[in-house]
């Protein structure tokens, strides 16, 4: 990356976004600091491909006058992928302060707070400073575990956590309101995606996929669930062909980013059904050591939005693969919770089940379902709503 301009990833309520940050630099005897944006807007993008497309084509933004900006448009797309040290999981802070104040937790929180103060300085977010100044523990984070030891340290940590419980949503809303996702040239995006894909293929040839190997060995899968409310990460495994999710009492624990999930898995006090799996101690050991990589295989990505509209259009309008995965997810979750409604409604003798089976198991000798499909769509939406109610978002 160009010196003094670094790509960063922000985990916000609206999702994981990437942008550029120019930490403090001196020019003409003055100190400056800036983010990629313009006016009151912080520009951020869903992926490095969109970021690359923007910096290669945009002509108006606040970093254009940076001393080394001229280098940035010529960077490879892979150089615009944030490294681990520059990924700030803002939505995961409540999970972080729910843990004990160990070295890893405090270091992660200290980096996040320092970043937020820089963002607040540049973007005039007084509410961020106000929240971070309301507990002395925030200022003591860079000193490590000593200020949080003993009775006085415990008081500081509890006080800090109380501020997060009461006001962190307010802070997130303030940051979220800054963010704008600019439109970018589709051709430039596709070019950047091709670069990233090519680089990824080369990396796969050179480096063993140890994350995939680990999850295969322990027999547990990270999964990603995309709903109308957001994208969530969790775990699931099968024991004697019976599904088991990360969760308890029929509620699935889900997280807005892989990092937030990994932090939760490091919590030795967390209670969930996967603790009964014989290989769970291996997962817990890696998580507490900060060595757990959570990567979701394509076959474990479940996309729920859009299927109701597709079903309304009949069998020809539905993507069989998307539907098959969605059915698998809904069925697994209901089976795990001990509920039969999903299987009953998906039985071929029911209207929705007949439509679904016709899509997933096409047979020219069968009579095709006929429109309108209002009843089928209503049933599907109910099943999806029941599933989404089952998600316990952290």
Boundaries of every domain in the chain: 1-207, 210-299, 304-393
* Statement: residue 280 has pLDDT above 80: yes
Q: Region 305-317: what's the mean pLDDT?
A: 88
Q: How confident is the model at residue 141 (pLDDT cuts 50, 70, 90)?
A: very high
What is the chain's mean pLDDT, rounded?
Answer: 88
| C-alpha span between 280 and 268 (Å, rounded) | 12
Cβ-proximal residues to 276 (8 Å cutoff; 6+ apart), any chain: 244
Q: In 3-state terms, what secondary structure has residue 117?
A: helix
Q: Region 214-233: what's the mean pLDDT?
A: 90
Judge whether 288 and 268 are in contact, CB under 8 Å: yes
Going from the C-alpha of 38 to that of each of 35, 62, 122, 177, the distances in angstroms are 9, 5, 12, 14
* Statement: residue 132 has pLDDT above 90: yes
The half-sphere exposure of 200 on its side-chain side, counting CA atoms within 13 A, is: 9
CA 320 to the chain's CA centroid: 26
Q: Region 274-279: what's the mean pLDDT?
A: 91
Backbone torsions φ then ψ of 384, nearest 5 degrees? -65, -40
Predicted local confidence at residue 345, as pLDDT: 92
pTM of the predicted model, to two decimals?
Answer: 0.55
Tell me the two tokens of residue 130: 């106000």
* Statement: residue 10 has pLDDT above 90: yes
Predicted local confidence at residue 83, as pLDDT: 86
Predicted local confidence at residue 205, as pLDDT: 45
Predicted local confidence at residue 36, as pLDDT: 93
Q: Region 215-235: what's the mean pLDDT?
A: 90
* Statement: residue 243 has pLDDT above 60: yes
Predicted local confidence at residue 365, as pLDDT: 65
Q: In 3-state terms, what secondary structure has residue 221?
A: strand
């Amino acid at each position: 990356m160009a010196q003094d301009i670094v790509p960063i990833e922000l985990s916000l309520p609206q999702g994981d976004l990437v942008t550029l940050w120019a930490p403090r630099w001196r020019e003409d005897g003055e100190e400056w600091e800036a983010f990629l944006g313009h006016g009151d807007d912080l520009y951020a993008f869903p992926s490095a491909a969109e970021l690359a497309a923007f910096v290669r084509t945009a002509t108006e933004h606040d970093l254009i006058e940076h001393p080394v900006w001229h280098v940035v448009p010529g960077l490879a797309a892979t150089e615009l992928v944030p490294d681990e040290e520059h990924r700030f999981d803002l939505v995961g802070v409540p999970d972080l302060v729910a843990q004990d104040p160990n070295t890893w937790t405090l270091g992660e929180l200290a980096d996040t707070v320092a970043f937020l103060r820089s963002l607040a300085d540049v973007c005039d977010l007084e509410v961020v400073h106000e929240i971070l100044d309301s507990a002395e523990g925030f200022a003591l984070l860079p000193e490590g575990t000593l200020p949080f030891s003993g009775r006085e340290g415990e008081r500081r940590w509890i006080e800090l956590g109380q501020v997060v419980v009461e006001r962190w949503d307010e802070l997130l809303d303030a940051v979220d309101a800054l963010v704008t996702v600019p439109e970018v040239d589709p051709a430039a995006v596709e070019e950047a995606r091709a670069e990233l894909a090519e680089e990824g293929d080369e990396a796969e040839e050179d480096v063993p996929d140890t994350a995939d190997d680990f999850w295969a060995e322990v027999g547990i899968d990270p999964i990603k669930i995309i709903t109308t409310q957001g994208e969530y990460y969790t775990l699931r495994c099968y024991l004697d062909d019976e599904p088991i999710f990360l969760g308890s009492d029929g509620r699935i624990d889900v997280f807005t980013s892989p990092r937030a999930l990994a932090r939760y898995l490091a919590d030795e006090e967390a209670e969930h059904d996967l603790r009964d799996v014989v290989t769970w101690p291996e997962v817990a050991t890696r998580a507490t050591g900060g060595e757990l990589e959570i990567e979701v295989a394509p076959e474990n990505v479940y996309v729920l939005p859009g299927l109701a509209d597709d079903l309304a259009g009949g069998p020809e309008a539905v993507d069989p693969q998307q539907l098959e995965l969605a059915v698998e997810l809904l069925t697994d979750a209901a089976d795990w919770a001990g509920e039969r409604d999903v299987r009953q409604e998906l039985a071929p003798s029911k209207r929705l089940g007949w439509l679904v089976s016709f899509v997933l198991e096409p047979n020219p000798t069968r009579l095709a379902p006929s429109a309108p499909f209002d009843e089928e769509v209503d049933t599907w939406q109910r099943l999806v709503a029941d599933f989404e109610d089952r998600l316990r978002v952290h």
